[in-house]
Amino acid sequence: MAKLQPVRGTKDIWGEDALRFNHVVDVFRSVAERYSFEPISTPIFEFTEVFSRTLGEASDVVSKEMYCFEDRGGEGLTLRPEYTAGIARSYMSEGMQQFGMKKFYAYGPMFRYERPQKGRYRQFHQLDAEILGAPEPAADIEIIALAHQVLKELGMVENTVLHLNSLGDQESRQAYRDALVEYFTGHKDKLSEDSLARLEKNPLRILDSKDEGDRALLPDAPKLSYYLNETSQAFFDAVKQGLDAMDITYIHDENLVRGLDYYCHTAFEFITTDLGSQGTVIGGGRYDGLMEQMGGPQTAGIGWAGGIERLAMLLKEAPKPPRPVVFVPMGDAATNKAMQLLNMLRSNGVVADMGFRGNMKKRMKRAADANARFVAILGDNELLKGVVSLKDMDSGDQQEVSFADLLARVQA
């Protein structure tokens, strides 16, 4: 017997949730197009190495969260846990280097084996934006401005704070890493088990720890900004100046390191106080080493991803579905005419529907429940006269309107 439930951590999106979800995607698409980003869509599964090599074997995503499987041909595949690696893979496999810079936007499902809770699912959806082939700080500014504008048009920019940090270039990161290892090694006895493992594999991630004991060590830990070399500092300054010029406010968050191995220079997150510990709605950063790590030529990149479910939850009001014109025909001849008029309205961009079940009263009630703007009643009488009895559901007025005038009347 099949279990008649969705799999743990997955959910059906319908009703108001679906309206919220679509609104987030619609706003994102509209803003991304205005910012001259191009659409892209990559497969939901990739060869496992696309993710394992790039995200870092020690990252949470690779070590515990990926859905990996072998297909019938014995290929090792993984359901994508994030978009960046797949888009970077695509940039290389499609030979897009010839175009230099590419600005892409995408959205779709992601899969991570996580502990389900509010705002955290095993299949969830992301908005994603990437600029590939651009090493300039202007790209960092552009990608953050895009995220900011999306939040603004979703009406949530006031409730989110932009946390910004610079991880510096490789040289700066290495120097900082050494300093961190020295510091935390001196406090080994107070570190959580997870952070002891991080100390060897990626000590920067200790800064990201949610363990209280680990967090107590952070105020005295060495600060990343102190280790930025001149190039890295200049890069960070350019990004901050660009944001200032656009009036995008941020806080410099020295503990923001992001979970994945491939980041350098700019790292950022938009965090809301409205969702508890699932408060990060958009996160991203620069990944200049990523494509080289995948076996391609050195290519700069920067991007972000935002959780659609989290953004949808934060929308203050659910978007309202458009109000239809509902036909209520009685009798076969009237039904045929109603179908013709229904088609005509729909072809002209009017939202329209038809009630075809039950008696007149039931049909009228269904129309009211559907929040109809107008109900067009069509019986034998109306048919003979070539009119519908059009009821305005707001005022309650009812008038005969000829078939020829119907479109103009409901559009007015």
Closest CB to ligand ATP among residues 304, 374: 304
Question: Token pair for residue 371?
Answer: 């929040």
Q: Measured from the CB atom, is 84 or 90 closer to ligand ATP?
A: 84
> What residues contact 91, with CB distance under 8 A and at least 6 apart?
97, 102, 132, 133, 291, 299
Residue 21 or residue 227: which is nearer to ligand ATP going by CB? 21
Nearest Cα residue to 264 out of 243, 226, 241, 290: 290
- Does residue 259 bind ligand ATP (CB under 6 A)? yes
Taking the alpha carbons at both ends of the chain, their separation in whole angstroms is 54
Token couple for 12: 């059906």
Nearest to 140 by CA among 292, 291, 264, 281: 264
Q: How far is the CB of 64 from ligand ATP (least distance, A)?
A: 11
Compute the distance between CA of residue 387 and CA of residue 326 in angstroms, rounded to an integer.
Answer: 15
For ligand ATP, the closer of residues 11 and 409 by Cβ is 11
Which residue's structure tokens are 């038809």?
A: 354
283 vs 355 by CB, closer to ligand ATP: 283
Q: Contact region for ligand ATP (CB under 6 A) — 87-95, 229-237, 273-281, 320-328? A: 273-281
Neighbours of 230 (CB within 10 A): 8
247-256 in b/e form (b: 16+ CB < 10 A) is ebebeebbbb
> Binding segment for ligand ATP among 83-91, 143-151, 187-195, 277-285 (CB under 6 A)?
277-285
- Strand 374-378 relative to strand 325-329, pairing: parallel
| Beta pairing class for 38-39 and 102-111 | parallel
CB-CB contact of 83 with 109 (8 Å): no
Cα separation, 120 vs 117, whole angstroms = 5
Which member of 17, 46, 114, 400 binds ligand ATP (CB under 6 A)? 114
Mark 53-92 with x for binding to ligand ATP (rule: CB under 6 A) and - for no binding: -----------------------------x----------
Q: Which is nearer to ligand ATP, 104 or 227 (CB)?
A: 104
Residue nearest to ligand ATP (CB): 307
Integer Cα distance of 202 and 177 in angstroms: 8
Residue 81 vs 168, nearer CB to ligand ATP: 81
Give the Cα separation of 215 and 49 in Å (integer): 33
CA-to-CA dists, residue 150 to 33, 129, 146, 165, 247, angstroms: 11, 11, 6, 21, 15
- In this complex, which beta carbon is closest to ligand ATP, that of residue 102 or of residue 258? 258
> CA 122 to CA 5: how far, in whole Å?
15
Out of 56, 86, 283, 289, point to the residue binding ligand ATP (CB under 6 A). 283
Name which position in 278, 293, 335, 389 contacts ligand ATP (CB under 6 A): 278
Compare residues 109 and 379 and give the one whose CB is closer to ligand ATP: 109
In the bound state with ligand ATP, the residue whose beta carbon lies nearer, of 305 and 393, is: 305
Residue 49 Cβ vs ligand ATP, minimum distance, rounded to whole Å: 19
Residues 211-240 that bind ligand ATP (CB under 6 A): none
Backbone angles phi, psi at 277, to 5 degrees: -80, -5
Count, residues near ligand ATP per rule CB under 6 A? 19
Q: Does 121 bind ligand ATP (CB under 6 A)?
A: yes
Binding of residue 285 to ligand ATP (CB under 6 A): no
For ligand ATP, give the closer residue by CB, 166 or 209. Answer: 209
Kindly give the interhelix angle for 84-93 and 48-55, rounded to the nearest 10 degrees. 110
Segment near ligand ATP (CB under 6 A); pick from 197-205, 274-282, 286-294, 358-366: 274-282
CB 37 within 8 A of CB 28: no
Per-residue mark of binding to ligand ATP, 146-175 (x: CB under 6 A): ------------------------------
Among 289, 307, 329, 355, indicate the residue that binds ligand ATP (CB under 6 A): 307
- Contacts to ligand ATP by CB under 6 A: 82, 112, 114, 119-121, 124, 126, 259, 278, 280-283, 305-307, 309-310
